[in-house]
Structure 1
Amino acid sequence: MIFAAPARRAPLAVACAFAVSTFATIAADATAQEPLAPVVVTAARFPASATPIGATVITADQIRSAGVADVNAAIRKIGGVFGRQSLDGSPDFSLDLRGFGTNSAQNVVVMVDGVRLNENELANTVLSSISIDTVERIEITRGGSSVLYGDGATGGVIQIFTRRPAGSGTRGSLFAEAGRFDALDLRASIAHGAGPWSFDAAVTDRRTDNYRDNNKYEQTSFSGGVQYAYASNGRAGLRFESSRSDARFPGSLNEAQFQANPTQSNTPGDFGSLDTDRISAFVEHRIGTIELAAELSHRARDVKSTYSGFGSRYEAEQTQFSPRLRHTAMLGDKRNEFVTGIDLTRWDRQVTSSFSAGDATQDSKAIYVRDELTWNAPHNARLAVGARHERFDKDYTDPLAFTAPEETEQSSNAFTLEGSVDVAREVTVFAKAGRSYRIANIDENSYRSTTGVLAPQTSRDLELGVAVGNDARKATACVFHHRLTNEIFFDPTLAGGFGSNTNLDPTRRQGVEFEGNALLATNLRVTGAWQYVQSVFRDGPNAGREMVLVPKHVVTTRLAWTPGNGQSADVGAQWVASQRFGDDFANRCSARVPSYTTVDARYARRFGPWEASVSGLNLLDRQHYSYAFSCRAGIYPSDGRQLKVSLRYDF
């Protein structure tokens, strides 16, 4: 989560909370009323047996082997996604797919069990309250995905699926970890199945003083759910989530301060809290070749913060309802899958502070359709086409801002055409083309450069890739191109140098992505990912210049050793190339954010139901930073070396 954000954006850039509901990982037989069978991945917002085209899948086994403590870390360290250090000391790093810089969180959609987590604010998606022990898999689909997932999916979509009890009996785990900076992580989870009923619950207590002064972070969370599978053609469930977090904010440093002492704080009196409660329900039902599914979720949160002695508070609520339908049919030797659905979301926020009494509401209504044709002979081909229309109704009033109340309607459309074909044995070529979009959120419109609300951001998306190999050795490579119009971004050169949010001149993201894995021996596997991205202005006075805070290269690699005798070891490294400082739109700053390499490792040993481990983060103790909002200033240092020991008991 992010309680604290640089003053350049909006008075309140805070953590977004999320709604989490149960999502069954089963696929229906399209032609007969047979029991639902488990599957590995999902597509078209329904369970499926085929990986989404071009997707990366992180399994529970990989998460356990790497020993990562939270979902965000799993996405970064195993999935190879670049993440920027959180500004508030939480583990919720800003995740960046395809080089969107400081607005990366607004260009990636995050889903948990079919429920969208993104908020109508300038804030990172909060993943830290999801117990890592409940995660079954994570799917990362890079590139334009607005047809299925709507506003903000230009960079891609990240989906987290939590594990549900399977079969009868009781299972659970207890976990304790301690480390440097007075870090303590306590977790407990339990799951029980009895006939058609299943239950699960997880509690977490996490606290740390963190690397910097005045950066203490504490969080307690609970999640629990119940699920009922009726007959052989459906299931339903209810889930509740609650989280309480407190954080202190160390503020930014200039370059001289960072070099002298990166742990120091300039804001010893700044702090905040975030309380969230979420409840969600889901239902799935099959009637012949038709599957029906829906999620209904509601979350409420209370955010308090104090900066330089001035306090503020806001309360926000969000309700989502997402019903959908899938019909499958055989057309000769081809299988056709048709999906349609609607997404309804209502969001509102009330602010109480000395500088704002803003009352904001947004209603969004979307309808989408997608059709995919699959045929096995002779080349295992897939072809999908889809479209989406979404309308947004925005209301905003703030008597302290001396502006008239605003009522605005905006709408946008998305489309996609994608396919894949096996051109040879174990060689698959895939391609995507489409249009994605993003609508300015409440924080961006509250501090903008225009008299009216900012125009929708649109992107023309292209991608071409190839996957070679099998489970033992596989490599995937693709080239991508995003041609953006009216990109929504903070321009520090506006408003007499104070800056404001605006629609930029036309921009472009293009580059290459590569990921691969190889089984070097029966007990030794190496994985790697490389992203090269060019993020530039393509028109206007800055044409040809680089966008800010976007590294051209991000390289991630991991080596996992699992000899099968109770021992396991995992070592990973990530190299991030240099970046432009956050205000360097003209590319005139004589310095750049330096490149850096971080290394982490874990060794574990099992003794029956017990597992003991030792792990280290940033083992080389590299002093570095990924946030710097001004030339040689506005620096938020990243964490130094941290060593941890843990003990786990499974029952």
Structure 2
Amino acid sequence: MTFTHTRRSPALLPSLQPLALATSIALCFAAAAAAPAPALAQAPAQALAQTAAPVIVTGARFDSDPSLLPIGATVISAAEIRRSGASDVNQAIRKIGGVLGHQSLDGSPDFALDMRGFGTNSSQNMVVLLDGVRLSENEQSTAILSTIPVDSVERIEITRGGSSVLYGDGATGGVIQIITKRPGARNAGTRGTVFAEAGQLGLREGRAALTHSADNWAFDLSGGALDTDNYRDNNGFKSRNLNLGAQWAFTGGRAGVRVSGTRQDSRFAGSLSEAQFNANPRQTASPKNFGSLDSDRYTAFVEAKVAGYDLAAELSHRRKELEASYFSAYGLYELDYQSKQTQFSPRVRKLGQIGAVLNEAVAGIDFIDWSREQKGSAPSKATQKSKALYLRDEIKWDAFRLAAGARRELFEKDNRDPSPFASAVYDVTQGVNAWDIQGSYALSAKATLHAKMGQSYRLPNADDNAYTPLANRVLQPQTSHDMELGTSYAEDGNKLAARVFRHELRNEIYYDPTAGEFHFGANVNLAPTRRQGFELDASARLAADWSLSGHYQRVKATFTEGAAAGRELVLVPKNVLSARLSWTPADGQSADIGAQWVDSQRFGSDFDNSCAARIPSYTTLDARYARKFGAWEVALSGLNLADKQYYGMAFSCQGGIYPSDGRQLKLSARYDF
């Protein structure tokens, strides 16, 4: 849960400014293409259910053969997630996938994930999907991943780089596709898991999951409860979630439904000055601030093979209600709004082969209808409707793969906000285009080269347009020209992948703390900017029981034109390095230890690069040891083992600091039946 506000008063700016900074830029890339099913709905068709479980990846928003894995993608398996001890999907993406996470501001486990250096706008510059359904928000907030039962995840596919052709708005930094497990014939009968964990900082968590498969039907039910005081004062967090679903497999296809509900309560610790952080990083600057979030999601899906064509569609509706109260010397500020989003995504694929040439042609339509209504003394309402058409074709012959695609999307935006401090009365239509070309060549059975280029985009959302330099003037769409060159090598369990990339952005949407009529800050379109860098993924089997993996990202984010040309963008570390060592003997034991180093970065307000200080670099360690006893597994795990006092989010020069968590030890027990 990430709390945002839709109007800003100058008097309240010091306490609310950090929440407004989430003004976005691009997401994830077309790798985790939509495995078309809600969380329950990953059972194979009846014809496939009679065979051993096939290896499946998500390609162009359809289940596909591993040979058509999205170019340059990283896959995290369920076994890796369990071995690492990740307690939620967000943590698994950070610990195993090496994706940088910015500490949440509300005490929730939903860190803002950052691929390719988009800082506080990272959540709006990548796309997150759950079984093909978009979770990324239409607001200045992060996708809520903590509600996804981590034990239900089959794999997580991470594709870095622009992918707006398949996924539309915000797919510049990359795409993260979360695929849930498929109940089927090999798991016939009733299965379940019960998990309990307790630890320091008042942590108490319980999870349970139950699945039942019989004939062509499968059902599942899962729920969880999490209570924690967290590291800082007035930063407690409580969460309750329930998920249930059903699906039916028929000859040539499957269909299903899923219902998910979440209730969360948070206390807001607020930001600290550098002096306060040095004196006591656990203290709070806002002892009375709190909020709550209720969210429900309903999804139906169907996929079928008809006359040689693969057809698929998801219909999803999400309701979210948020309340928050902020107390300061200027008085009480209350936030109370409800948002709704409906998504319908039908598509068709023709997969065929002529001689040695395999061809995959995909066409689809995305409809999204979003609205938000602000309650209270100053009611407002914002709506956004989008409709998109995309086409993509890929051919594979011998050692070559070549794919090309295009997308056209129209956005209708309407906003009515009578607040005296807002600048958001408008009714506009904005249209954008995306395209990409990708190719790869297998040098051998072990080594591959690939290249990508294209255009991705991000549209200003209702929060972006709420505070612009000119009253009632909406921001322009952000576009990015994306390029990537890469290579990969795999042999005997050892893998190495390297990529160089560049994103040339126009009209990047960003929060400028010096903009606006009274220089209280505003969301703006920046002068042209660039992100370029290098990524390295590696894994090695050191011995029969030992494996090592690592992820490295180097990114340089700068202005390329205008008065700020050459200056660095804020809150973007140049280097991020993650590594994990795993021990998995065959006697029921397992151990896993990980480290992450994050380079120094500029403070959030340092647009002119004048601040003499930088956010210091930091290194964190985590580890887990587990032992199985029949159906039981007992584990001891720890986060930030060195108890490093650090922060990665700070919104003013040596101030506006949100401290990161200190050391936490946890003990858990799990029973599978």
Give TM-score scaled by structure 1 length: 0.96
Q: Does residue 7 in structure 1 map to residue 25 in structure 2? A: no
Question: What does residue 371 of structure 1 align with?
Answer: 393
Question: What does residue 191 of structure 1 align with?
Answer: 211
Q: Does residue 621 in structure 1 map to residue 639 in structure 2? A: no
Question: What does residue 488 of structure 2 align with?
Answer: 467
Instruction: Give 1:625 deviation, angstroms.
Output: 0.6
Change in 2 beyond 3 A, CA 1:34/1:551: same
| Aligned residues with identical type, % of pairs | 55
Alpha-carbon distance in structure 1 between the residues aligned to 2:233 and 2:2: 17
Q: Are the equivalent residues in 1 in contact too, given 2:46–2:249 (CA < 8 A)?
A: no
Calculate the aligned-residue CA RMSD, in Å.
2.0
Question: What does residue 485 of structure 1 align with?
Answer: 506
Q: Are the equivalent residues in 2 in contact too, given 1:281–1:296 (CA < 8 A)?
A: yes
Alpha-carbon distance in structure 2 between the residues aligned to 1:403 and 1:174: 50
Deviates more, 1:434-443 or 1:303-312: 303-312
Alpha-carbon distance in structure 2 between the residues aligned to 1:530 and 1:479: 12
Alpha-carbon distance in structure 2 between the residues aligned to 1:586 and 1:27: 57
Equivalence map 1:371-450=2 (5 Å): 371-376=393-398, 380-401=399-420, 405-450=425-470
Q: Does residue 645 in structure 1 map to residue 661 in structure 2? A: no
Question: What does residue 587 of structure 2 align with?
Answer: 565
Aligned-partner residue type, residue 580 of structure 1: R
Q: Deviations over 1:309-351 (max 9, x none)?
A: 3322001110000000000111221010000000000000000
Change in 2 beyond 3 A, CA 1:107/1:471: farther
Change in 2 beyond 3 A, CA 1:25/1:516: farther
Question: Which of 519, 523, 535 is 2:545 aligned to?
Answer: 523
Alpha-carbon distance in structure 2 between the residues aligned to 1:628 and 1:479: 29
Paired residue secondary structure (1:584): coil
Paired residue secondary structure (1:648): strand
Q: Does residue 316 in structure 1 map to residue 370 in structure 2? A: no
Question: Which of 168, 181, 203 is 2:201 aligned to?
Answer: 181
Aligned-partner residue type, residue 457 of structure 2: Y
Q: Are the equivalent residues in 2 in contact too, given 1:28–1:286 (CA < 8 A)?
A: no
Alpha-carbon distance in structure 1 between the residues aligned to 2:110 and 2:403: 34
Aligned-partner residue type, residue 257 of structure 1: Q
Q: Are the equivalent residues in 2 in contact too, given 1:70–1:128 (CA < 8 A)?
A: yes
Question: Which of 48, 54, 59 is 2:64 aligned to?
Answer: 48
Instruction: Give 1:38 deviation, angstroms.
Output: 3.2
Alpha-carbon distance in structure 1 between the residues aligned to 2:629 and 2:190: 21
Change in 2 beyond 3 A, CA 1:364/1:80: same
Instruction: Give 1:499 deviation, angstroms.
Output: 1.0
Question: What does residue 155 of structure 1 align with?
Answer: 173
Alpha-carbon distance in structure 2 between the residues aligned to 1:59 and 1:404: 44
Change in 2 beyond 3 A, CA 1:321/1:36: farther
Deviates more, 1:147-156 or 1:165-174: 165-174
Alpha-carbon distance in structure 1 between the residues aligned to 2:153 and 2:142: 20
Paired residue secondary structure (2:16): coil
Equivalence map 1:16-35=2 (5 Å): 20-24=38-42, 26=44
5+ residue gaps, structure 1, are: none
Alpha-carbon distance in structure 1 between the residues aligned to 2:129 and 2:137: 12
Paired residue secondary structure (2:610): coil
Q: Are the equivalent residues in 1 in contact too, given 2:344–2:366 (CA < 8 A)?
A: yes
Alpha-carbon distance in structure 2 between the residues aligned to 1:342 and 1:25: 24
Question: Which of 455, 463, 472 is 2:476 aligned to?
Answer: 455
Q: Does residue 580 in structure 1 map to residue 599 in structure 2? A: no
Q: Deviations over 1:407-465 (max 9, x none)?
A: 10001000010011111341100110000000001001001123421000000000000
Aligned-partner residue type, residue 563 of structure 1: P
Question: What does residue 148 of structure 2 align with?
Answer: 130
Instruction: Give 1:299 deviation, angstroms.
Output: 1.0
Question: Which of 77, 81, 100 is 1:63 aligned to?
Answer: 81
Question: What does residue 132 of structure 2 align with?
Answer: 114
Instruction: Give 1:164 deviation, angstroms.
Output: 2.7
Q: Are the equivalent residues in 1 in contact too, given 2:44–2:249 (CA < 8 A)?
A: no
Question: What does residue 336 of structure 1 align with?
Answer: 359
Alpha-carbon distance in structure 2 between the residues aligned to 1:11 and 1:77: 27
Q: Are the equivalent residues in 1 in contact too, given 2:41–2:246 (CA < 8 A)?
A: no
Alpha-carbon distance in structure 2 between the residues aligned to 1:353 and 1:468: 58
Q: Are the equivalent residues in 1 in contact too, given 2:447–2:488 (CA < 8 A)?
A: yes
Instruction: Give 1:26 deviation, angstroms.
Output: 4.8
Question: Which of 75, 79, 102 is 1:84 aligned to?
Answer: 102
Q: Are the equivalent residues in 2 in contact too, given 1:27–1:39 (CA < 8 A)?
A: no
Equivalence map 1:529-544=2 (5 Å): 529-544=551-566
Question: Which of 225, 240, 245 is 1:205 aligned to?
Answer: 225
Aligned-partner residue type, residue 283 of structure 1: V
Aligned-partner residue type, residue 391 of structure 1: L
Question: Which of 247, 258, 268 is 1:227 aligned to?
Answer: 247
Alpha-carbon distance in structure 1 between the residues aligned to 2:384 and 2:153: 31
5+ residue gaps, structure 2, are: 6-14, 24-36
Q: Are the equivalent residues in 1 in contact too, given 2:22–2:121 (CA < 8 A)?
A: no
Aligned-partner residue type, residue 158 of structure 2: I
Q: How many residue pairs align between the two structures?
A: 641
Aligned-partner residue type, residue 48 of structure 1: S
Q: Deviations over 1:510-568 (max 9, x none)?
A: 00000010000111100000000000000111100100000000000000100010100
Q: Are the equivalent residues in 2 in contact too, given 1:284–1:293 (CA < 8 A)?
A: yes
Q: Does residue 630 in structure 1 map to residue 639 in structure 2? A: no
Paired residue secondary structure (1:341): strand
Q: Does residue 359 in structure 1 map to residue 378 in structure 2? A: no
Change in 2 beyond 3 A, CA 1:22/1:371: farther
Q: Deviations over 1:494-518 (max 9, x none)?
A: 1243110000000000000000100
Alpha-carbon distance in structure 2 between the residues aligned to 1:457 and 1:27: 40
Alpha-carbon distance in structure 1 between the residues aligned to 2:45 and 2:400: 20
Aligned-partner residue type, residue 55 of structure 1: A
Change in 2 beyond 3 A, CA 1:57/1:163: same
Question: Which of 324, 329, 343 is 1:305 aligned to?
Answer: 324
Paired residue secondary structure (1:8): helix
Paired residue secondary structure (2:375): strand
Q: Deviations over 1:454-478 (max 9, x none)?
A: 0000000000000012351110001
Paired residue secondary structure (1:38): coil
Instruction: Give 1:118 deviation, angstroms.
Output: 1.4
Alpha-carbon distance in structure 2 between the residues aligned to 1:558 and 1:318: 38
Question: What does residue 141 of structure 1 align with?
Answer: 159
Question: What does residue 26 of structure 2 align with?
Answer: none
Aligned-partner residue type, residue 493 of structure 1: T
Alpha-carbon distance in structure 2 between the residues aligned to 1:227 and 1:324: 20
Aligned-partner residue type, residue 456 of structure 1: P
Aligned-partner residue type, residue 483 of structure 1: E
Alpha-carbon distance in structure 2 between the residues aligned to 1:166 and 1:110: 26
Give TM-score scaled by structure 2 length: 0.93
Q: Are the equivalent residues in 2 in contact too, given 1:12–1:443 (CA < 8 A)?
A: no
Q: Are the equivalent residues in 2 in contact too, given 1:218–1:246 (CA < 8 A)?
A: yes
Paired residue secondary structure (1:424): coil
Q: Are the equivalent residues in 2 in contact too, given 1:10–1:447 (CA < 8 A)?
A: no
Question: Which of 116, 120, 140 is 1:102 aligned to?
Answer: 120
Question: What does residue 27 of structure 2 align with?
Answer: none
Q: Are the equivalent residues in 2 in contact too, given 1:26–1:39 (CA < 8 A)?
A: no
Q: Are the equivalent residues in 2 in contact too, given 1:489–1:503 (CA < 8 A)?
A: yes
Q: Deviations over 1:66-98 (max 9, x none)?
A: 010000000000000000110001000000000
Q: Are the equivalent residues in 2 in contact too, given 1:27–1:36 (CA < 8 A)?
A: no
Instruction: Give 1:289 deviation, angstroms.
Output: 2.3
Instruction: Give 1:10 deviation, angstroms.
Output: 6.6
Aligned-partner residue type, residue 326 of structure 1: R
Question: Which of 162, 176, 191 is 1:171 aligned to?
Answer: 191
Alpha-carbon distance in structure 2 between the residues aligned to 1:503 and 1:403: 16
Question: What does residue 611 of structure 1 align with?
Answer: 633
Alpha-carbon distance in structure 1 between the residues aligned to 2:486 and 2:449: 6
Q: Are the equivalent residues in 1 in contact too, given 2:367–2:387 (CA < 8 A)?
A: yes
Question: What does residue 34 of structure 2 align with?
Answer: none
